């Protein structure tokens, strides 16, 4: 009876649309999110003002802002941010006041903030008693005591978990996945009123300060009806920055590559969902594995096995799977392979499917295996936290004279080819995919209405073709190889001339470092 009642609530609740699926963007108003992974709040504020807003990036996903454990073995790993001990707003990225200041400054220039929130669990039980925390709060993980929330032993799911270890042992069992501990992390009982109220209060504090929405971590490990109850308590967005009645934009981490009973679609009635198949499949296509080829992307999207576009947040890689964790395996493309990575990101930003999220990373040491960078996860220092001082505090992000980042920060969002494809996406927002062309293998091209056109060559021979772009006649600057001059009369890269019939000649050698040409309405001379 208990099981039937649970699923009865679920059936009634899904599809009611308690949250927005759109992230409050408009043409040329910033249609992409960038994940500034582990950046300090002060650096994000400056990036919003000096780079993101001027270059059309509409939103930032920030690292979890809540108080977490301080892990010293290994030394300050990135994953300590995903082991909260309270909902106080002091973290490795800065103080609560610095967070508030950052949210305000980014909103002032039109860049929205989405907070990565960890609400499935608290820290691991092995964290012990009184271990260091980012705010200095006391906790006793072994006794499940978190007085700063407050949570006690009765607020966790241990009595519901049926495994001997207390951890998830079988991902084919939905009750284990949702009621047992994920790798030892203390699993919260979200069906309890107290837990729902505490989580909602935390999220509402962020909304009230001007945060526009959330990336919700580990949703697969929470029951959809519990999330629905929490989302239903969320405040509208702060009217200082957003129209009255605006709802928070929510996108939920649900790892679903198929083969498990829990699916991403179970959560799509509550908000958008992270589509993990996207990066895994796109990486396989660009690597040309298993007979995959660019021409196959003609059916990319829901018809190709992905969830509906209006429910998806998509990405080439994220902070987990770029390190070999999470989902996707070896097919995932990252900054370590820049040529293929730029092709994948360019395709993602040009194609109309989903809301796009960019990754902005930092480097970590990688092992040399047979003289090449690589090796298994165990051979890599993939646990490493962000560039830090000797005391474990995060270093600022230095900007080089050429606009790139130094000090170990990668900043893919500042790569010129990615930066200008963001502008491409803004220009073509809302336009349909048109004028698809391929050579049957690994050369493709397509347009977005009459506002943009892209060609990509991942073949072993030159792409040399006259193609129908659907765009107005004129000369356009290829935004991959250069930019239009400020006066609009010149171009620092190659020119593409579109005739009166909408056709243009494209030539891309197979050996080019960036085998892409992209033009859009804003690059017309």
User: What are the CA-CA distances from residue 327 to residues 142, 204, 322, 376 (Å)?
Assistant: 30, 30, 9, 15
Locate 497 and state its tokens: 């001339």
From residue 27, how far is each of 71, 189, 244, 265, 423 by CA, in Å? 43, 42, 21, 28, 10
217 is catalytic: yes
Active-site hit among 217, 266, 317, 459: 217
Cα–Cα distance for residue pair 361/354, rounded to 1 Å: 22
* Tokens representing residue 130 in the block: 């009184």
Contact 152, 142 (CB under 8 A): no
DSSP 199-261: HHHHHHHHHHTT--EEEETTGGGS-HHHHHHHHTTPPPPPTTTS-TTPPPEEEE-----SSSS
Using alpha carbons only, what angle is made at residue 60 by residues 199 and 42, rounded to the nearest 5 degrees?
90
**What radius of gyration do the chain's Cα atoms show?**
23
* Sequence-separated (6 or more) residues with CB below 8 Å from residue 497: 474, 475, 476, 504, 505
Give catalytic status of residue 514 as yes or no: no
- Coil, helix or strand at residue 291: helix
Q: Parallel, antiparallel, or unpaired for β 312-314 and 272-274?
A: parallel
Using N-to-C axis directions, what is the helix angle for 193-208 and 224-231, rounded to 10°?
50
Catalytic-role residue among 43, 46, 67, 253: 253
Active site residues: 217, 253
């Amino acid at each position: 009876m208990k099981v039937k009642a649970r699923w009865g609530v679920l059936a009634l609740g899904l599809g009611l649309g308690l949250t927005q699926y759109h992230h409050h963007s408009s043409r040329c108003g910033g249609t992409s999110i960038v994940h500034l992974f582990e950046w300090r709040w002060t650096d994000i504020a400056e990036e919003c003002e000096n780079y993101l807003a001027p270059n059309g990036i509409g939103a930032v996903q920030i690292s979890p802002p809540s108080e977490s454990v301080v892990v010293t073995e290994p030394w300050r790993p990135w994953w300590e941010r995903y082991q909260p001990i309270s909902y106080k707003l002091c973290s490795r990225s800065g103080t609560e006041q610095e967070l508030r200041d950052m949210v305000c400054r980014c909103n002032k220039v039109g860049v929205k903030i989405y907070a990565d929130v960890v609400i499935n669990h608290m820290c691991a039980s092995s964290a012990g008693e009184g271990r260091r925390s980012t705010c200095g709060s006391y906790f006793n993980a072994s006794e499940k005591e978190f007085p700063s929330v407050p949570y006690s032993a009765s607020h966790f799911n241990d009595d519901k978990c049926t495994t001997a270890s207390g951890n998830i042992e079988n991902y084919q069992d939905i009750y284990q996945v949702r009621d047992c501990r994920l790798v030892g992390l203390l699993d919260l009982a979200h069906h309890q009123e107290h837990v729902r109220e505490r989580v909602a209060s935390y999220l509402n504090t962020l909304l009230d300060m001007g945060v526009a929405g959330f990336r919700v971590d580990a949703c697969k490990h929470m029951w959809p009806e519990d999330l629905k109850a929490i989302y239903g308590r969320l405040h509208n967005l702060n009217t200082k920055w957003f129209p009255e009645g605006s709802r928070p934009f929510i996108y939920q981490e649900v790892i679903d590559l198929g083969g498990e009973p829990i699916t991403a679609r179970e959560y799509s009635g509550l908000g958008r969902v992270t589509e993990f198949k996207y990066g895994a499949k796109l990486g396989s296509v660009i690597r040309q594995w298993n007979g995959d080829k660019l021409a196959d992307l003609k059916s990319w999207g829901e018809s190709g096995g992905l969830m509906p576009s209006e429910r998806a947040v998509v990405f080439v890689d994220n902070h987990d799977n770029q390190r070999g964790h999470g989902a996707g395996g070896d097919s995932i493309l990252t900054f370590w392979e820049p040529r293929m990575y730029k092709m994948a990101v360019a395709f993602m930003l040009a194609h109309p499917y989903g809301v796009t999220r960019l990754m902005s990373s930092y480097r970590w040491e990688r092992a040399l295996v047979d003289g090449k960078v690589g090796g298994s996860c165990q051979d890599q220092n993939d646990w490493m936290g962000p560039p830090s001082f000797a005391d474990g505090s995060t270093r600022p992000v230095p900007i080089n004279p050429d606009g790139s980042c130094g000090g170990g920060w990668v900043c893919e969002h500042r790569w010129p080819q990615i930066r200008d494809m963001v502008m491409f996406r803004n220009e073509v927002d809302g336009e349909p995919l048109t004028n698809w062309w391929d050579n049957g293998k690994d050369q493709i091209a397509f347009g977005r209405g009459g506002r943009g056109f892209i060609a990509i060559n991942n073949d072993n021979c030159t792409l040399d073709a006259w193609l129908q772009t659907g765009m107005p006649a004129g000369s356009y600057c290829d935004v991959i190889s250069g930019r239009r001059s400020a006066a609009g009369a010149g171009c620092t890269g190659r020119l593409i001339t579109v005739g009166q019939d909408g056709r243009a000649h494209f030539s891309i050698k197979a050996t080019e470092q960036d085998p892409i040409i992209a033009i859009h309405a804003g690059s017309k001379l």
